[in-house]
């Protein structure tokens, strides 16, 4: 068995996005792939995706094709979005006591762009805020920062995919969580 495994070549699989695909990236949220360009930016010719952020139609974002899998992912479809909303109440919070470790995990989750993990950040930080308020404390700046980032990315994607307003999305989420 070991000899057989040694003879197998491992190929890295890179998903090739297409023009017209909607993708999510951390800095710009939902973007449309407008074009795939061959550009020479650093003395070397490479292919780049030209992304147009949906919240800023005049902006242009260039992502190298060979690094795209670590920087963008396809948006959810409507079925995936609805399934995530229905599953929200069952997604567990993050329980890490160490502040630095928790912040490191938040950064990793945001970089992963994983919607279910974004829900875990939102739930965790919402409940932490409620506990701090009960204790007469303010929310920490770090918690507020990561809550807003996670909420912004997740909610903008969900509203875009479902073609509904933020208010309608909030109502839908509350209905499914309660």
User: pLDDT at residue 33 above 70?
Assistant: yes
- Residue showing tokens 């963008």: 72
Helix axes of 99-112 and 115-134: crossing angle, nearest 10 degrees: 150
The answer to whether residues 121 and 132 touch, using CB atoms and an 8 Å cutoff, is no
Tens digit of pLDDT for each residue in 95-141? 888 889 999 999 999 888 899 999 999 989 988 999 999 999 999 89
Average pLDDT estimate for 133-157 = 91
Residues facing residue 22 across a β-bridge: 32
- Which of the two residues, 141 and 176, has the higher pLDDT score? 141
Tens digit of pLDDT for each residue in 34-53? 999 999 877 888 999 999 99
DSSP string of 115-169, one letter each residue? HHHHHHHHHHHHHHHHHHHHTT-PPPHHHHHHHHHHHHHHHHHHHHHHT--HHHH
pLDDT at 79: 96
pLDDT at 175: 82
* The token pair that represents 52 in the structure block: 């147009």
pLDDT at 11: 38
Average pLDDT estimate for 86-91 = 92
- Residue showing tokens 């939902």: 30
pLDDT band at 178 (very low <50, low <70, confident <90, very high): low
pLDDT at 43: 81
């Amino acid at each position: 068995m070991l000899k057989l495994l040694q003879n197998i070549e491992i190929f890295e699989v890179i998903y090739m996005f297409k023009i017209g695909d909607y993708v999510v990236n951390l800095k710009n949220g939902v973007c449309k792939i407008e074009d795939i360009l061959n550009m020479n930016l650093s003395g070397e010719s490479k292919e780049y995706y030209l992304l147009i952020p949906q919240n800023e139609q005049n902006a242009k974002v260039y992502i190298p094709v060979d690094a795209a899998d670590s920087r963008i992912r396809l948006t959810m479809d409507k079925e995936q979005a609805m399934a995530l909303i229905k599953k929200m109440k069952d997604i567990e919070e993050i329980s890490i006591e160490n502040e630095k470790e928790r912040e490191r995990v938040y950064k990793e989750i945001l970089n992963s762009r994983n919607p279910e993990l974004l829900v875990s950040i939102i739930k965790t930080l919402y409940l932490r805020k409620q506990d701090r308020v009960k204790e007469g404390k303010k929310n920490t700046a770090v918690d507020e920062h990561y809550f807003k980032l996670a909420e912004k990315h997740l909610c903008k994607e969900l509203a875009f995919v479902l073609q509904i307003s933020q208010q309608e999305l909030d109502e839908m989420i509350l209905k499914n969580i309660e």
